[in-house]
Structure 1
Amino acid sequence: MFSIRAPALLLSVLLLLPFLLQAATNDPVPTEGDFIFRNVQFRSGETLPEVRMHYITFGEPRRDANGLVRNAILILHGTTGSSAQFLRPEFANELYGKGQPFDVSKYYLVILDNIGHGKSSKPSDGLRGKFPRYGYRDMVELQYRLLTEGLNVNHLRLVFGTSMGGMHTWLWGQTYPDFMDALMPMASLPTQISGRNRAWRRVIIDSIRLAPDWNGGNYEQQPHGLRIYAEMSWFMGLNPILRQREAPTLAQVDEALERAVAARLTTADANDILYAFEASHDYDPGPGLEKIKAPLLAINSADDLINPPELRILEEEIKRVKNGRAIVLPLSEETAGHGSHTKAVLWKKELVRFLKKTERKRIPTERKY
């Protein structure tokens, strides 16, 4: 006999279904939030009355007897990226599970959207060309403030960053040298941006800023120069072998490029892109490399067009880091050019060794909030 309780029971099951599926798969669930900074002044001298920083976290912070958080890991994304890139299977499925390197039952992961990116404050929110000019050092300072003021994190087990996040990691090591146990910059170099890396960025900047329809950032529709950003990103992102395999004929190259460009232009905003690329203007960690105290493991790949190994910059500059070590992954069927930085299977074993080497004798189990 059909009971009137059945619809209510069915509704309850439907509401609980996402949680039941989550429990069945044992996938870690992130916590999402925003922190608001008031009256923020940038190194340019410009100010904002309010800056929103978006973040996601996994796990819970654990403190030692002295009140220091001992299990927090800060994960930093690249230029035009966001925290979402670290939820993709090639990264999250390799690192976040039980017994994996960033096991969320052991560690407290903090993954943020930098200013100008993702769900954090950015030009496209409304200020457009009047948004303050920010630099990498402004970004690192806001990361630090989010941890200390927003999340009450006073120490990091590890700072891990990819591409721009890797560059931020080098800055973290010298700006806050006693704040972390270890540093792991990926797909980056500890030197001022120059050579081809600066040139392709300058092409993107000029294609937007010099476009007649950019109009000082007050455009009615996305300026045509934004297309060059999308094309250059496709060109620089992967290695030539993968591109040739993806598109071995003239027609296939054109088709692949059009697909990639169309995908990027669906969500990209010219002001956001312009500001993100111009932000690297103050990146120059070279003079401060000797200030880095924490053990540092830098990993690049041999097929990275943005950080070409032929220059041997990483191998030479790492000598100035007291506890530094550098690895350049050789070209293989698995490497993906600059994008190797989020393909965790390529470097997971090195991460495991590095975490073990830098681990303290005792990980506290008491949880305090």
Structure 2
Amino acid sequence: MDSFEFETGEVLNDVTVEYMTFGTPIYDENGIIKNAIIYCHGSLGNYSSLKKIAPLANENGPFDENKYFFICLSALGSPGSCSPSSTDLKNKFPKYSIKDVANFQKKFLAEKFSIRHVLGMIGNSMGGFVCLTSAINFPDFADFIICGVSSYKVAGHDFILSKFVNEIIESDPDYNRGELTYSLIRTLRIASLAEFNFGLSKEALRQMSNLELSEEFENFGNESIETDIYDLKYCNKACMNFDVENDLDKVKSKTLIIASKQDPHFPPELDAIPMSKMIESSQMIIMDSDLGHLCFNELETISDDLNEFMENFS
């Protein structure tokens, strides 16, 4: 995009947006795609998160690629699109909010595809924040939203986890230098390891031997150093400040909430169930999945429920 203006008023020019599409576009009488479904990924994910719904895109599946046109972009703040690392601004990158992420996506869709209304939005984790924020701020933007393993606010244990990660990062005196050092790589690894317990369910972790756990923990830490520490810090801060509890009555899109009863990030009793009561006429599916917060990797287990919901939009 030529430019993007943040909520703070700061503007970046020549903004990179990474994205992918699949499916079958259907056009209205004005030549505009009318069957677009937008996929919104989790924290620091990217366009490839779209693969989570691939097993359900077969003929007569809930996300049949012959019926729908899917678009997934690497969100504002994620590497590949406009982010602290890709712009090389590092800690000089403008502070952004989840509303900025939603605005970034909406502006891109209008400029690239001339799309100003979508059939629906699907989001997992932080992507659920983006779906809710879009539905609240642009009530006529999407006919439906599917909000998965997510919440209407970051609070309690999840807020403290985010605060802890930030404390670890900010404790490194090299952070303010704006350049990668050996110390920052080590700090990034430690900060990322704080998240290890919040992916798989407690049950799945307990089923592993201590040797297996140690190996998984080590691999998780090693893989995390491929992340940019500034991307992590900025994204973590944006999520930490997310709270739309008092605006849920503005959601007009048909809403489906998906939760996992073993999710250590957003337990249904604290997040999905209260949210379903605050969004009028919303529907809810609570998965039984040892993948916990990562249960979107086995959405095919609830394909019948998703088919029933998507029948309203075929």
TM-score relative to the length of structure 2: 0.92
Secondary structure at the aligned position of 1:238 is classed as coil
Aligned counterpart, 1:37: 2
Write the distance in 2 (CA, Å) between the matches of 1:320 and 1:150.
34
Q: Percent identity?
A: 27
Equivalent residue for 1:261, pick from 218, 221, 225: 221
1:260 corresponds to which letter in structure 2?
F
Write the distance in 1 (CA, Å) between the matches of 2:245 and 2:54.
35
Secondary structure at the aligned position of 1:343 is classed as helix
Q: Trace 1:149-298 onto structure 2 (pairs within 5 A).
A: 149-190=111-152, 192-221=153-182, 222-245=184-207, 247-249=208-210, 251-265=211-225, 267-298=226-257
1:293-324 CA distance string (max 9 Å, x none): 1210101111111112343x432332232221
1:262 corresponds to which letter in structure 2?
N
1:84 corresponds to which letter in structure 2?
S
Aligned counterpart, 2:313: 359
Q: Which moved more, 1:78-87 or 1:219-228?
A: 219-228
* Alignment gaps of 5+ in structure 2: none
1:112 corresponds to which letter in structure 2?
L
**C-alpha contact (below 8 Å) 1:95/1:103 kept by paired residues:** yes
Aligned counterpart, 2:89: 127
Q: After TM superposition, give the deviation of residue 340 of structure 1 in Å.
A: 0.5
2:42 corresponds to which letter in structure 1?
G
TM-score relative to the length of structure 1: 0.79
1:195-228 CA distance string (max 9 Å, x none): 0111111111111122123234333343422112
Aligned counterpart, 1:28: none
Write the distance in 2 (CA, Å) between the matches of 1:74 and 1:187.
17
**C-alpha contact (below 8 Å) 1:294/1:323 kept by paired residues:** no
2:275 corresponds to which letter in structure 1?
E
Q: After TM superposition, give the deviation of residue 55 of structure 1 in Å.
A: 0.7
* Alignment gaps of 5+ in structure 1: 1-35, 361-369
Q: After TM superposition, give the deviation of residue 138 of structure 1 in Å.
A: 0.3
1:87-124 CA distance string (max 9 Å, x none): 3xxx3441222332222222110011001213101111
**C-alpha contact (below 8 Å) 1:211/1:224 kept by paired residues:** no
**C-alpha contact (below 8 Å) 2:74/2:80 kept by paired residues:** yes
Q: Size of the alignment, in residue pairs?
A: 312
Secondary structure at the aligned position of 2:17 is classed as strand
Secondary structure at the aligned position of 1:225 is classed as helix
Aligned counterpart, 1:327: 285
**C-alpha contact (below 8 Å) 2:38/2:122 kept by paired residues:** yes
Q: Trace 1:2-21 onto structure 2 (pairs within 5 A).
A: none
1:133 corresponds to which letter in structure 2?
K
RMSD: 1.9
Write the distance in 2 (CA, Å) between the matches of 1:279 and 1:37.
24
